[in-house]
Amino acid sequence: MENHTLTIFRPVFENQLSLGKNEVCGECDAIFKNPLLPWIVGGKYRDTQERLLFVGKPHRGNSGHIFPSGLLDPIEPYLDWLMSCSWPYWRYTRDIVINIYGDLDPWDYIAFTNIIKCTNVGDGDTSTDKTSYKMAECCIQKLGVVSHEIRLLMPRTIIFYTYALFREFLRNLPETLGASSSYEVTPETHRVPCGQKWLGWWERRLSTPWSDNVRALVVGHPERMKRDEYVGLLTNWIKS
C-alpha cells in the first residue's frame, strides 16, 4: 500500500501553515500539540471515481513518529489498527471500504484524516473525547486546516464522522472550499434510523473548483451503532 501523506501534506503543515508554531496554535488549549498528519492517502485514491475521503474526530494518543517540527506521522500504528482493530471507528470503516473496493488492499483507494490535528487524550487514556471548543475554533475555523487538506485532496465524496462535534464550524464549508454553489440534500438537523437508534445525517452537494458534484455527508460517529446497519447505510450512500 502506497501512502502519499508525507510528500503531499508535510510541506504544507510545516511551511505554509506552521502548525504547532503559529500564533493561533499558541491560543489553542490542546494538551498534546503534535499536529497529526493524515492517516493515509492511498496510491490509487486519485484514480477512483469516488475519490472517497473519510474525516474522523480528534485522535487519541501520540503514537507514531514525531518529526523535529513536532508533526506526528501515525502510519506505523495505523497499519495495525486499520487491519485488525475491532473498535467501530476502524472496523466499520474497514468494512465500508471493503464493500466498495473489495478486500485486496482496499485502503489504497481512499484518503483518511482527522478534523482536528491535536488531542487532549494521551496514550493509554480510555476516557471519552475531551476536545474543547477552543481546539475546534482554532483548527477548523481560524486555521482552516481540514479545508486545506480537502482542497489538496480534491475528493468527490467526503464523509465526516463528526455530527456531534461542533457542527457550526462546518456550516461555511462551501465557502472555505471555494465552492461556486451548494445546496442541502438534507438539513443539518436531519436524522435517519440506524437499528434502534437515530443517526445524524447532514448531506450537501457542492460545486467546487475541482468537481461540479462533490458530495459531503456529516454523519454520526460509528461508536455504539449497530455494525450491519451503520455499514450498510454508508455503503449504500457511497454507491448511490
Q: Which amino acid is at 75?
A: I
Banded model confidence at residue 130, pLDDT cuts 50, 70, 90: confident
Q: Could you tell me the maximum CA-CA distance found in the chain, to the nearest angstrom?
A: 48
Question: For position 5, what pLDDT does the model report?
Answer: 82
d(CA 124, CA 143): 29
Do 150 and 8 contact (CB within 8 A), yes or no? no
Do 131 and 58 contact (CB within 8 A), yes or no? yes
Whether the model clears a pTM of 0.85, i.e. scores above it, the answer is: yes
* Residue 79 burial class via C-beta count within 10 angstroms: exposed 0-12, middle 13-18, buried 19 and up: middle
pLDDT (mean) for 194-219:
97
Question: For position 167, what pLDDT does the model report?
Answer: 95
Question: For position 20, what pLDDT does the model report?
Answer: 93
d(CA 240, CA 160): 17
C-alpha cell at 19: 502548525
Could you state, in order of their start, the residue ranges of all structural domains in the chain? 5-239
Backbone angles phi, psi at 145, to 5 degrees: -60, -45
Banded model confidence at residue 126, pLDDT cuts 50, 70, 90: low
- Provide the residue count of the chain: 240
Question: For position 236, what pLDDT does the model report?
Answer: 97
C-alpha cell at 97: 471500504
* Number of continuous H segments (helices) and E segments (strands) in the chain: 8, 10
pLDDT of 44-103, one tens digit each?
999 999 999 999 988 877 778 899 999 998 876 666 667 777 788 889 999 999 999 998
Q: Is the pLDDT of residue 128 over 80?
A: no
- Considering only CA atoms, which of 200, 147, 204, 199 is closest in space to residue 176? 147
Question: For position 28, what pLDDT does the model report?
Answer: 96
Count CB neighbours of 137 within 10 A: 17
- Pick from 23-27, 104-108, 210-214: least confident: 104-108
Count CB neighbours of 107 within 10 A: 25
Backbone angles phi, psi at 128, to 5 degrees: -75, 175
Fold of 5-239: Uracil-DNA Glycosylase, subunit E (3.40.470)
